[in-house]
Structures are given as C-alpha cells and as structure tokens.
Amino acid sequence: MANRTPQANQSWLPEANSPTVDFPLTHLPYGAFEHEGQQHLCTAIGDHLLDLYVCAASNLLPPTLIEACQAPTLNSLMSLGHRSWTLLRESLTALLHADVEPDRRQGVEGALHSIAGATLVRAVHVPNYTDFYASIHHATRVGQLFRPDQPLLPNYKHIPIGYHSRTSSIVSSGTPITRPVGQSRPIAAQEQPDFLPSNALDYELELALYIGEPSVLGNPVPISHAFHHLFGVSLLNDWSARDIQSWEYQPLGPFLAKNFATSVSAWVTPMAALAPFRVPAIPRSDADPRLLPYLHSTVDQQQGSLNVKLEVFISTETMRENKLTPFLLSESNAHDLYWTPAQLIAHHTSNGCNLQVGDVLATGTISGPTEASAGCLLELTRNGAQPILLPTGESRTFLADGDEIILRGSCEVPGSPRIGLGECRATILPARI
Amino acid sequence: MANRTPQANQSWLPEANSPTVDFPLTHLPYGAFEHEGQQHLCTAIGDHLLDLYVCAASNLLPPTLIEACQAPTLNSLMSLGHRSWTLLRESLTALLHADVEPDRRQGVEGALHSIAGATLVRAVHVPNYTDFYASIHHATRVGQLFRPDQPLLPNYKHIPIGYHSRTSSIVSSGTPITRPVGQSRPIAAQEQPDFLPSNALDYELELALYIGEPSVLGNPVPISHAFHHLFGVSLLNDWSARDIQSWEYQPLGPFLAKNFATSVSAWVTPMAALAPFRVPAIPRSDADPRLLPYLHSTVDQQQGSLNVKLEVFISTETMRENKLTPFLLSESNAHDLYWTPAQLIAHHTSNGCNLQVGDVLATGTISGPTEASAGCLLELTRNGAQPILLPTGESRTFLADGDEIILRGSCEVPGSPRIGLGECRATILPARI
C-alpha cells in the first residue's frame, strides 16, 4: 500500500494536486485521442493528457511496454497481463511525480496536451458486451411499475440476471444519439402496432467493467479469482427506448430498444486506482436466500464492492440558451448494487462461457434505495406518470430532442485523494424518418 | 443467369460432377483450414479443397483479390464488396471448369487437398451475433408447452423477435461441447435453486446468415436492399440448456442457457450459389396482420425465402460401438420460416443499429409445420414428456454425454445441380464439476 501522505502523491504539475481535480497522480486513467490522423493512447493528469505513444518513442517507458503503448487501443496492454499493468502504472507515476529527474520531466512535457483541446476516442475494442441488472433498487422499482403484486421476480436474489447487448453501436462520450424509430403498441387493445420515433427515450446510469484477463472456454472463473480479471472501469449510458422495449421484449428480452446506441466515457480508471475505494458488499438480510457457493467469497463480501458516487445531469436546449448549468436529476452509488463485480464474472463464466480481452460487463442501471437515487427516467417519473419539473419551467417524462445527458462519477474517502471518472455525455438528435 | 445445361457446369474434377456431391462447380463455398501453422482460406470442389492463399501466390487469381485471398479470415474479402465477390467466384469457376487451360489446371492441381485430411477452422471473424426466432412453428410449439392458452405472443406476427447472443463461444464444427453447469429450479416450490450439470441439454437447428456489406449507425437498411447485405449462409447449432433457461430468462431473456457454445459449419455458401434456390416467402393468411411497410417488399415476398432442406441426426456412443449409422431425428426446410432474411435485416437496422462485416444473424430454430419437422428436442419430446426411442433401444428426452449431433443442409430444384451445405457436428462431453 502506497504512503498516503500528501507529499507522496504530489505531481510536478500543480493542477494535478488540487483536491477537486478528477485526475490526480493517484488516478492515471487510460484513454485514446486523435493525433495527426492516428489514434494514440494516453493517460490523464490534471487538465492534461500524456501521449503514451510519444512517451514510448522517447524511451520514457520500459522497453517491454513500447509496443502496447504504441497500439491504437488498450487491448494490447490488457493482453500483457497484470505485471505489465503494474509496471506501466509505476512508470507513469514516476514520470509525473514531483521527484522526477529534470531531463525526464522535460521529455514528458513534450508529450502533454490540454484535454480540452483534444478529440478523445474509444480506447478499448470491445469484443463482447454483457449488460447485467445488478441493482436491486432498480429491479424493484421497475417491477413495481409493471408487476405491483410481485415487483421482484423469484430468481432475482439467487442469480445475477444479465443479457447480451450489442458491441457495434457502442460510441464514445460526445457522440450525438439519434432518436430511434421502432414498433410500439401504446394501447394494448390496438390492432396494429405503431412504427414511430420512440416517445419514451431514456438513459440508464451504469458502470462499464472492462475485462483485462481473459478466460478459457469451458473453464469457470472461481469467485476468489474473479476480481483479478478486471482491468478498469468507465461510465456507461445504456440508452433505452421504453415503448419499443415493452412491445418487443417477450419472450427473448430487449433488442432494438437498446442496440441503437450505448455511450461510454473516454477514460478507463484502472482497478489499481480504485483500490482505496473498495468497500464491503451490501449485507444480505437473514430473509435473503443463502448464496450458492460459486457466488460466495469472504474477501468479496468484505471488499468486493466499489464506492463510486454517480450523478446524472440534464441540459436542455432552453437551459443552454439561458446559460443555465446542467440540472442534477439524481445521485446514486455503485456500492448499493446487490451483486458485486466478482459475482458478475463468476456467474458469467459458471457455465464455461469465456471472457475476452476488452469485454464490457455493464452493471445495469445503478439506482439507490431512495426515489431521488433512481438511475433512469422510467423510475424517476414512474414511467412518465410524474413529470420532472426543470428550473426553466420545462418538464420531462422522457427525453426530448436536444436534451443532453451527462453522467459523472467520483470516489472520495478520508485519507486518499479524490478521483473523478470524468463524464459520459451525449445529446439527443431528432429521429430520421 | 448461367446456362444450366449439364456441360456448362462440368468441372475437370470428375467427382465434382456427381449429382449427389455437396460441392459441385455451381457451389464453391468458402472455408478455412490449417496449413503449416497458418490459416488459409479455401473453396470446396467435390471431395477437395482449393487453397486460395496458394492460388493467389501462383497468380491464378486477379491481382485485386490477392490480399483478401491471403488473409486468415473471409472478412477481408467481404469488405471488398459485391464486385470482388463476383470476380472471385467467376475466377474460381473458370479455374475449376472443364474448359480451363492445361497450364492453369496444373497450377490448380498443386493447390488441391483432400477435405477428409484437412483441419477445417472458422473462416469468419464474427463481431456480433444475433439470434432470431423466425420459425412460427417453433414459436407456436414452444409456446404450447409453457402457455397453452396463448401459445403465440401478441407481438409474434408483427415483429421479427430476436436477441443478442455471444460471439466469444462460437466454435467450429467438430469442436466437442462440454455440458454446462448452472442454476435451475426444477420444482417451482423449492426454496434454493440447484447448481448442477444441465439435465436438459438441447440442440437447435438453425441457419447462420453472414453479413458481407456493413451498414452505418443511424441508417436503417431499406428492405428492398436488405438481401444485398448478405454474403452467405452456414449451418448453426445454438446449443441450449432448457433447465437453466427456464430459471434465468425472466425478465431479460436467455443468457447462460445459450452462451456456453454455438457451433457453426465449416463452409460458407455464397448467396450467388443460392440464387436458384430462392423461393417465395410463406404466404400470409387474411387473418394475419398487415406487414408494416418497413418489413414489406414485393420482391422479398416473391423470392426472399431460401429453399434449404435441413436434417438433424444423432449418433450415440452405443450406436457408434455397434457401427450403426446416425439416426435421423427430424427434417425441416428454411422456406418454412415466417420471416425472410431480408425482413430480419430490415428489422435489425430499423432503429439505426449498424451491421458489421462478418456479423451473424441466425434464424432461430427452424421447425416445420409437422411434429416430425421440429428443430429441437424441446419440441420433439414435448419438454421431455415423450422420449424418443432410438434403434439401439436407447431413449432420449434431452442429450446424453457422448451423443453426437449432426446437422446437414442441401438445396435441390429441377434444372440446377444439387448443392450441400456440408455438416455441423459436435459431441457432448460430460460436465466439469
């Protein structure tokens, strides 16, 4: 465990030492940006990004890492395994630390760019994308809307419910989202379904868990080793068209209601940076069923959950015209999830299904126990029955064209510098019809 | 349209001119095989494969195709588009035609290998895999088992139901399948679910439709152009653990019941080879709902369905010990599907979801109208209630360890040489527990 005195975490970039910065020296998330027509990997420090391609070319990084640091995506680094992840993180920490030698600091300065001026792009090639349903508060409140007599299905507390989602339509933060067109049947009695732009477009506040260490087809990952397979974490918005979903999802689950777009934030926070923010899993009550052994580990119960505070903001066109700051729709925290990341991995592989380098396991909507901590509009507005009033006098049941949704995440505990996950934002464009 | 007189389709390989061969000159499916530690693309003719890598190196193929023919997967060729697909097919047809020049024939002879002696591997990298539910006979019979009062859900005739499946666990024909372990709750009243090897392992007889021409995120593919996006077709077995499925699938659909393995056949039959076997879509009755315009095209209704005869065989350990030939479990035909390939593509992209080169759209279980034409054991044995008696005196409700399942497909119409899709086979290994 690194020394946590302030001096130990000081960077020679003064901005990185501010207590409110997202990217202090203890964070060092990975990303990618466009550089003269190429895609370069980078890390973030303060308000700057550090070009890993250039660092590798300038012999500022260990020789064994040069190829991975000059690749267009993080998948090469992920494939090198834990030792290399640690080596790169230590190397970057040393380069950006206040104690760095002056000549190395000069080399680093030549590889720094302002984040504000850069075009960030997706850093990870995602071969497979699974979306879970790990928030019991979300599952319960959604269930209350559609099955008031049995909000939580009998399997929920036994099995981490998940389904496969679509990788082709994962887009980076900032990419506009076109409102999808699709079939819906708003009135159950109507003969023909409508085929119209979605009238119930929603966001879902989630975390993306990136797999760094793959698993072999046929070989379940024991829960004791499961956390070890994680490379890092991003913010994820699983856009959802509720009207399309309710008409199409029986019997095989959501399809076109989800696969028109999924937004991910630019920065991948390595698990090493999250170490100070690991917390106990939420305690199971005596009334809860016993965990099956493949889902239980004492270490996981003690420190397998992540204390990541999450926020959703909306900025409407009218708000932007009036120069109003984005409006906070809700706050929640990933530590409220019923299932831990290790449980999701152990379950996913329990039948022998293999994980590949770069796979995303999304948590599902992260909602907390209170109404104000709901991670989507379906919950916040009770499926449109209770509109949200905005400071402009506007109201929302679901998203309007021009609305921008901004997800933010941060970790704060006494004794460790705060880190921020950056943001995942996108604006809704009108349907093309 | 090529001249269909027998002479026009004669190859200089006599075996390829037999009326019962799977791979006559009019077929020329694509595959890949292991060659001295590398993966080479190939086509099939008679009992032989033709090494495309070597053909390209020997200047037997047009210069614009050399790079794609020396790639390890078909994705490069797919990316080149229709003109290149046609050019390669015409070039290969000429090389293998009875009229080929002797020196070119000599070159080709040096690139031929016996299929029986080759190790065939997956020819396509599959970025995304979608599984549909396009057989109304399958949907109805499965529905009868679980919802006798409403076998077919209200959405079925309006919307091609589909869901995302898992690409990481797609394996080539011949790869053994390990019985998955998982949660199930055979008795609804039992408190704790079991965690055991699946007791209801099933196959599903399907076709894989390979996307060759991609589409752009946000841009629906009109149904009039949809068929054009297809590169070719394979056999696909979507292995399913029914006991795991029934416990996990609410509310988000099948997950671990499916993603432990999907088998695909080695050969990809190009759409050009299927041209003689395009038939009208099954007629909709007056009682059926009107198709929404995005799912309707007159051309699709007239010739958008594929006349592919399909068979499922089982070979148990006892059958193999007694040298008995595999036992025919059922026969069906892809022309019985309720939704055409073009409808699946138009629907999949109707919300703006993009298709990528190499994507698989599977049809879902292909069952016919009769009980004997059911494409899975769930239907054939009525969820295990009516065991199948085998010639050895053995019986099956679901699959036993050691069982081998063999899917076969073929196309036959008067006036065109028969073509066969080869086979998709795999043997069940005991669970690892």
Residue-wise pLDDT for A146-186, tens only, equals 899 999 999 999 999 999 999 999 999 999 999 999 999 98
Instruction: Name the pLDDT band for B190 (thresholds 50, 70, 90).
Output: confident
Mutation target among B150, B252, B356 for the A interface, most CBs of A within 10 A: B252
Q: Given CB atoms, is A285 within the 8 Å cutoff of chain B?
A: no
At residue A131, what is the residue type? D
In a domain, B1, yes or no: no
Residues A160, A95 share a domain: no
Residue listed under structure tokens 């998203």: A399
Residues with Cβ < 8 Å from B122, sequence gap 6 or more?
B32, B73, B170, B171, B172, B264, B266
Instruction: Name the pLDDT band for A187 (thresholds 50, 70, 90).
Output: confident
The string of pLDDT tens digits covering residues B241-294 is: 999 999 999 999 999 999 999 999 999 999 999 999 999 999 999 999 999 999
Mutation target among A178, A347, A351 for the B interface, most CBs of B within 10 A: A351
Q: What is the pLDDT of residue B138?
A: 98
Given a cut of 90, whether residue A125 has pLDDT beyond it is: yes
Instruction: Name the pLDDT band for A191 (thresholds 50, 70, 90).
Output: confident
Given a cut of 80, whether residue A403 has pLDDT beyond it is: yes
In a domain, A144, yes or no: yes
Of B95, B121, B147, the one marking the end of a domain is B121
CB contact under 8 A, B164 and A168: no
**Average pLDDT for A13-26:** 97
In a domain, A371, yes or no: yes
**Average pLDDT for B89-117:** 97
Count of structural domains within chain A: 2
Instruction: Name the pLDDT band for A429 (thresholds 50, 70, 90).
Output: very high
| Percent residues over pLDDT 70 in chain A | 98
CB contact under 8 A, B247 and A351: no
Q: Given CB atoms, is A350 within the 8 Å cutoff of chain B?
A: yes
Residues B359, B385 share a domain: yes
Of B70, B98, B121, the one marking the end of a domain is B121
Q: Given CB atoms, is A140 within the 8 Å cutoff of chain B?
A: no
Residues A86, A227 share a domain: no
Q: What is the pLDDT of residue B4?
A: 44
Q: What is the pLDDT of residue B1?
A: 39
Report chain A's mean pLDDT, rounded to a whole number: 96
- C-alpha distance from A260 to closest chain B C-alpha (Å): 4
Residues A34, A84 share a domain: yes
Residues B227, B188 share a domain: yes
Instruction: Name the pLDDT band for B316 (thresholds 50, 70, 90).
Output: very high
CB contact under 8 A, B183 and A158: yes
Report chain B's mean pLDDT, rounded to a whole number: 96
Given a cut of 70, whether residue A4 has pLDDT beyond it is: no
The string of pLDDT tens digits covering residues B214-253 is: 999 999 999 999 999 999 999 999 999 999 999 999 999 9
Given a cut of 90, whether residue A234 has pLDDT beyond it is: yes
Residues B288, B209 share a domain: yes
In a domain, A290, yes or no: yes
pTM: 0.97
* Domain span holding position A313: 129-429
Q: What is the pLDDT of residue B308?
A: 98
| Percent residues over pLDDT 90 in chain A | 95
3-state secondary structure of B299: helix
The string of pLDDT tens digits covering residues B317-361 is: 999 999 999 999 999 999 999 999 999 999 999 999 999 999 999
- C-alpha distance from B112 to closest chain A C-alpha (Å): 33
**B37 half-sphere exposure, CB direction, 13 A CA radius:** 0
The string of pLDDT tens digits covering residues A359-399 is: 999 999 999 999 999 999 999 999 999 999 999 999 999 99
Q: What is the pLDDT of residue B172?
A: 98
**With helix as H, strand as E and coil as C, how does chain A read?**
CCCCCHHHHCECCHHHHCCCCCCCCCCCCEEEEEECCEEEEEEEECCEEEEHHHHHHCCCCCHHHHHHHCCCCCHHHHHHCHHHHHHHHHHHHHHHECCCCHHHHHHHHCCEEECCCCCEECCCCCCCEEEECCCHHHHHHHHHHHCCCCCCCCCCCCCCCEEECCCCCEEECCCCEECCEEEECCCCCCCCCEEEECCCEECCEEEEEEECCCCCCCCCCCHHHHHHHEEEEEEEECCEEHHHHHHHCCCCCCCCCCCCCEEECCCEEEHHHHHHHEECCCCCCCCCCCCCHHHCCHHHHHHCEECCEEEEEEECHHHHHCCCCCEEEEEEEHHHCCCCHHHHHHHHCCCCCCCCCCCEEECCCCCCCCHHHCCCHHHHCCCCCCCEECCCCCEECCCCCCCEEEEEEEECCCCCCCEEEEEEEEEEECCCC
Q: Given CB atoms, is A411 within the 8 Å cutoff of chain B?
A: no
In a domain, A327, yes or no: yes
ipTM above 0.90, yes or no: yes
Among the listed residues A138, A229, A347, A348, the single catalytic one is A138
Which residues of B are tagged catalytic? 138
**Average pLDDT for A202-218:** 98
Q: What is the pLDDT of residue B188?
A: 79
- C-alpha distance from A410 to closest chain B C-alpha (Å): 29
Mutation target among B255, B292, B433 for the A interface, most CBs of A within 10 A: B255
Residues B346, B243 share a domain: yes
CATH number for the domain including A348?
3.90.850.10
Residues B157, B98 share a domain: no
Q: Given CB atoms, is A353 within the 8 Å cutoff of chain B?
A: yes
Residues B287, B207 share a domain: yes
CB contact under 8 A, B292 and A127: no
Residues A135, A13 share a domain: no
| Percent residues over pLDDT 70 in chain B | 98
CATH number for the domain including B92?
2.30.30.230
In a domain, B278, yes or no: yes
Q: What is the pLDDT of residue B433?
A: 79
Residues A160, A28 share a domain: no
Residues A146, A110 share a domain: no
In a domain, A1, yes or no: no
CB contacts, 8 Å: B200 with chain A: none
Which comes out higher in pLDDT, residue B189 or B394? B394
Q: What is the pLDDT of residue A1?
A: 39
Q: What is the pLDDT of residue A307?
A: 98
Of B105, B121, B137, the one marking the end of a domain is B121
In a domain, B109, yes or no: yes
CB contact under 8 A, B354 and A169: yes
